[in-house]
C-alpha cells in the first residue's frame, strides 16, 4: 500500500495535514527527520504511517506512561498491532510483550527511555530489525528544554550500540532554537528534514486574569462553561486535592490526577474524563501528554506555569478538534514566588555535575521571567507567545484578553522617570530593594519598615502618591519587560537601573504603553469619574449575594444589583450608617444585609491596607446622605412612639 492507502485504511483520512507528507516522504526515503508541530497538528501520523510501510518494527520512545497507553489503545482500535514497555507491566505481561516482539507480531512498540539499556531490549534489538527509532517529546533531551530528562541522554547511547543504524525521527510541540540544536546534536541526526508548521492556533483564546481570589474566579469561569469539558492545572498535589474537593462540593463533575495517586486511581480518573463521565480534570502537569481528547473546550491554569514552553504545551490540549477553546491563566504574584521556590529546591539529578545543575536552574529561572512577562503584559498575548518561539505575528489578534480589553496607549515617560529616579536614589543609600518597597516609597506609604530604613527620607518619597497601585505595578513591569529596569536575583529579586535607563532619565527616550482606561486617572479625575473598584472585593460580594439568593430562593439581582455591589466597592462602607448611602440600599436592605456585607468589606480592608475609599468629594456626599438618613431615623422613631 502507498501512504494514502495507509492513511485512509487505518486512520480514516483522505489527505495529510500541513507538514505531515513532507516528513513521511523523508523517512520513507531513509532520511532522518525533525518535526516541530503544535499539539493537535498530527505528529503521530508522521511516524505511524511510515512505520506501517517499512520493514521491521518502529520503536517510539515516550516519556509518560499515560501517553503510551493512550497511543497503543488508539492504534489497536485502528487494527494496528502495537505494544508498550514500561514499569506498569506485570512480570508475565512484560515477558509476553517481548515474546511477541521477537516473533515479529508488532509493527510499533512504545518504550520508556529507561528500558532501552536493559539486557532484554538489547537482545530484541539484535534479533529483529528496527527500521526506525522515533523520539517523541524530543525537547526532553535538551538541558535547555522545559522538561529535561537525563534518561533521554541514553537514547543516543542505545542507537550507537546497534550493529546497524535505523532511521531516526524526532518530534516535539515546543522547541526554542537552543533546544532544537540540542535535539539534532545529541541524537546525531544526519542532515535531517526539518519541518516547523507554525505555533499559531487561531481557534484558541488566550487570557490572563489577575486573581486574588482564585477559587471564586475559577468557579465563575466554570459556571460559564458548565456543560463543557476542560482541564484545570495546579502547581501542587495539595492544590489539586483542595480545588477538586471544592468543585465537587459546589456541584461540578470533577476528578483529579497527580503522581501521588495510585496507578489504578489515575487510570480510572483519566477514563472518567476521557469518556465524559467527569467534565473537569483537576491535575498537575503529570496529566495530559498524549491524551487525545478532542473536545477539551478550556484549559485553565489555577497557578502560573514555570515557562512558556510548559504553558504552550499544556494549553494546547484545548481545541484539538479545531473548534474554539479557551486557555486562561489565573495569575497572582505569589505564583512567581512559588515557582521560584520550586526551581531553587528542585531535586538534584545525579547524572549532572554540580555546575550543570546550577546552569539548568538559572535557565529555568530565565524561562520563569518570560512567563511572568506574559502574565503581566498589556500587549497582544498571541504575539508575545509566538515571538518567544521565534515566529512573527502582526499583533492585535482579536482573540486574547489584551486585545479584547479596554486598553489605550498612554505616554508614561514622566512616570518612568520618577520610577527610575527612585531606584537610583535608593541605590545611593547603599542597598537595593524589590518592587514592593520601591512602590511603597513612590506612593509615600507610612510604615515602620520604611522609617527604620530611613527610606521615607529619600527625595522620591511620595512623588507618585496620586497614582493607583495597580497602574504603578503595570508600569514597573513594563519597564522590566522592556529592559529599562533590571530585576536581579532569584529568590529575592531587587530592582536596578540598566544600560538604557539613562536615555529615559535624560528625556532622550519617550515611553508609551497600553493601560486599562480606568487606571489612567489621577485622584482629581477620580472625583469627577467613577472611582476604581477592585475586582477581588467585587467577587467576594457577588459570592455572598449569590449565596443569600440561593438561601432565599430568589434571583440574585433581587438581593442587590451589580451596580450596588460596585458602589460598595467604591465607598467601602463598614457600618450600617455608611451602608445606607450605597446606591440601591434602602432601610430594609440595610437592616437585613448591612452587617454581613460590611463584615466582608471590613475584612477586605484589613487584608488590603492599600484599599482606598471614594475620594473626598464622594465622602462629602456620603456625609450628606448620612445626615439625611439620621434625620429619617429620628422622624421614624418619633412616629413609632
Cα→Cα distances 260→109, 113, 265, 283, 290, Å: 27, 22, 10, 11, 20
Round to whole Å and give the CA distance between 568 and 531: 11
For residues 379 and 456, membership in a common domain is answered with no
Contact 36, 172 (CB under 8 A): yes
Q: Domain range spanning residue 625?
A: 535-640
What is the end-to-end Cα distance of the chain in Å, rounded?
100
For residues 389 and 461, membership in a common domain is answered with no
Supply the DSSP string of 226-246, one letter for each residue.
TTSEEEEE-SSHHHHHHHHHH
Residue 132: name the closest of 69, 50, 42, 188 by CA.
50
Contact 347, 285 (CB under 8 A): no
Q: Residue 469: which CATH number? A: 1.10.10.10
Q: What is the pLDDT of residues 610-624, one digit of tens each?
A: 566 655 444 444 444
Which grid cell sits at 400? 486574547
User: Looking at the domain assignment, is residue 530 inside a domain?
Assistant: no
Round to whole Å and give the CA distance between 387 and 393: 7
For residues 256 and 399, membership in a common domain is answered with yes
For residues 181 and 118, membership in a common domain is answered with yes
Domain boundary among 196, 217, 241: 196
Length reported for the chain: 641
Please give the model's pTM, rounded to 2 decimal places: 0.59
pLDDT reported for residue 625: 45
Pairing between β-strand 512-516 and β-strand 407-411 as defined by DSSP bridges = antiparallel
pLDDT reported for residue 517: 64
Domain boundary among 362, 385, 404: 404
Bridge partners (DSSP) listed for residue 299: 231, 327
For residues 543 and 576, membership in a common domain is answered with yes
Average confidence (pLDDT) per 10 residues, the chain, 641 residues: 87 83 95 88 91 93 77 80 85 88 91 86 88 91 70 88 92 80 92 89 92 92 90 94 95 93 89 86 79 82 92 87 89 88 66 70 86 90 89 84 80 94 93 90 90 91 90 88 84 86 91 72 38 63 86 73 79 87 78 91 79 52 47 50 49
Structural domains counted in the chain: 4
For residues 470 and 570, membership in a common domain is answered with no
User: Looking at the domain assignment, is residue 525 inside a domain?
Assistant: no
For residues 497 and 623, membership in a common domain is answered with no
Which grid cell sits at 57? 518494527
Element holding 441 (H helix, E strand): helix 435-442
Q: Residue 155: which CATH number? A: 3.40.50.300
Round to whole Å and give the CA distance between 375 and 399: 16
Domain boundary among 163, 178, 196: 196
For residues 326 and 414, membership in a common domain is answered with no
User: Looking at the domain assignment, is residue 564 inside a domain?
Assistant: yes
pLDDT reported for residue 491: 59
Q: Residue 567: which CATH number? A: 1.10.150.80
Residue 316's φ and ψ, nearest 5 degrees, are -65, -10
pLDDT reported for residue 198: 79
User: Looking at the domain assignment, is residue 468 inside a domain?
Assistant: yes
For residues 38 and 182, membership in a common domain is answered with yes
Cα→Cα distances 622→534, 577, 582, 619, Å: 20, 10, 9, 5
User: Looking at the domain assignment, is residue 526 inside a domain?
Assistant: no
For residues 510 and 634, membership in a common domain is answered with no
User: Looking at the domain assignment, is residue 367 inside a domain?
Assistant: yes
Amino acid at each position: 500500500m502507498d501512504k494514502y492507502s495507509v492513511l485512509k485504511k487505518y486512520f480514516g483520512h483522505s489527505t495529510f495535514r500541513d507538514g505531515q507528507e513532507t516528513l513521511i516522504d523523508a523517512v520513507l526515503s531513509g532520511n532522518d527527520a525533525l518535526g516541530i508541530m503544535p499539539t493537535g497538528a498530527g505528529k503521530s501520523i508522521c511516524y505511524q504511517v511510515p512505520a506501517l510501510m517499512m520493514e521491521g518494527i518502529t520503536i517510539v520512545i515516550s516519556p509518560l506512561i499515560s501517553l503510551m497507553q493512550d497511543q497503543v489503545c488508539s492504534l489497536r482500535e485502528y487494527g494496528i498491532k502495537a505494544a508498550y514497555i514500561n514499569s506498569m507491566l506485570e512480570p508475565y505481561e512484560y515477558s509476553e510483550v517481548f515474546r511477541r516482539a521477537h516473533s515479529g507480531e508488532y509493527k510499533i512498540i512504545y518504550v520508556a527511555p529507561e528500558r532501552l539499556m536493559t539486557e532484554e531490549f538489547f537482545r530484541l534489538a539484535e534479533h529483529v530489525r528496527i527500521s526506525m527509532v522515533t523520539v517523541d517529546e524530543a525537547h526532553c533531551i535538551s538541558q535547555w528544554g522545559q522538561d529535561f530528562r537525563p534518561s533521554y541522554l541514553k537514547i543516543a547511547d542505545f542507537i550507537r550500540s546497534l550493529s546497524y543504524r535505523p532511521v531516526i525521527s524526532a518530534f516535539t510541540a515546543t522547541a526554542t532554537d537552543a533546544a532544537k540544536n540540542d535535539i539534532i546534536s545529541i541524537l546525531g541526526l544526519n542532515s535531517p528534514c526539518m519541518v516547523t508548521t507554525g505555533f499559531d492556533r487561531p481557534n484558541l483564546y488566550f487570557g490572563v486574569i489577575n486573581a486574588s481570589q482564585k477559587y471564586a474566579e475559577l468557579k465563575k469561569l466554570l459556571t460559564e462553561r458548565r456543560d463543557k469539558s476542560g482541564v484545570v492545572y495546579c502547581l501542587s498535589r495539595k492544590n489539586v486535592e483542595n480545588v477538586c474537593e471544592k468543585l465537587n462540593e459546589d456541584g461540578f463533575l470533577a476528578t483529579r490526577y497527580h503522581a501521588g495517586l495510585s496507578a489504578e486511581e489515575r487510570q480510572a480518573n483519566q477514563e472518567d474524563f476521557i469518556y465524559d463521565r467527569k467534565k473537569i480534570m483537576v491535575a498537575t502537569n503529570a496529566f495530559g501528554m498524549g491524551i487525545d481528547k478532542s473536545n477539551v473546550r478550556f484549559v485553565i491554569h489555577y497557578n502560573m506555569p514555570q515557562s512558556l514552553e510548559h504553558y504552550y504545551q499544556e494549553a494546547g490540549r484545548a481545541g484539538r478538534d479545531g473548534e474554539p477553546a479557551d486557555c486562561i491563566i489565573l495569575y497572582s504574584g505569589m505564583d512567581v514566588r512559588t515557582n521560584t521556590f520550586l526551581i531553587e529546591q528542585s531535586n538534584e539529578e545525579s547524572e549532572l555535575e554540580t555546575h550543570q545543575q546550577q546552569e539548568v536552574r538559572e535557565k529555568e529561572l530565565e524561562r520563569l521571567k518570560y512567563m511572568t512577562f506574559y502574565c503581566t503584559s498589556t500587549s497582544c498575548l498571541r504575539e508575545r507567545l509566538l515571538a518567544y518561539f521565534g515566529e512573527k505575528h502582526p499583533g492585535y489578534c482579536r482573540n486574547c484578553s489584551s486585545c479584547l480589553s479596554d486598553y489605550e496607549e498612554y505616554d508614561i515617560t514622566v512616570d518612568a522617570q520618577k520610577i527610575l529616579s527612585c531606584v537610583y536614589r535608593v541605590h545611593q543609600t547603599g542597598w537595593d530593594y524589590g518592587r514592593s518597597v520601591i512602590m511603597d516609597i513612590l506612593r509615600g506609604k507610612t510604615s515602620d519598615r520604611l522609617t527604620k530604613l530611613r527610606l521615607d527620607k529619600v527625595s522620591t518619597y511620595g512623588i507618585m502618591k496620586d497614582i493607583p497601585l495597580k497602574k504603578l505595578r503595570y508600569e514597573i513591569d513594563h519597564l522590566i519587560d522592556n529592559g529599562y529596569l533590571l530585576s536581579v536575583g532569584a529568590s529575592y529579586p531587587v530592582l536596578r537601573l540598566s544600560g538604557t535607563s539613562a536615555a529615559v532619565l535624560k528625556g532622550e527616550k519617550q515611553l508609551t504603553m497600553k493601560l486599562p482606561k480606568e487606571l489612567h486617572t489621577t485622584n482629581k479625575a477620580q472625583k469627577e469619574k467613577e472611582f476604581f473598584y477592585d475586582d477581588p472585593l467585587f467577587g467576594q460580594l457577588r459570592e455572598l449575594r449569590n449565596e443569600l439568593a440561593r438561601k432565599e430562593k430568589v434571583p440574585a439581582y433581587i438581593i442587590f444589583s451589580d451596580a450596588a455591589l460596585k458602589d460598595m466597592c467604591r465607598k467601602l462602607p463598614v457600618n450600617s450608617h455608611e451602608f445606607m448611602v450605597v446606591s440601591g440600599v434602602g432601610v430594609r436592605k440595610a437592616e437585613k444585609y448591612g452587617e454581613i456585607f460590611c463584615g466582608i468589606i471590613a475584612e477586605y480592608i484589613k487584608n488590603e491596607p492599600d484599599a482606598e475609599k471614594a475620594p473626598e468629594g464622594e465622602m462629602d456626599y456620603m456625609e450628606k446622605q448620612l445626615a439625611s438618613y439620621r434625620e429619617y431615623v429620628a422622624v421614624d422613631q418619633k412616629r413609632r412612639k
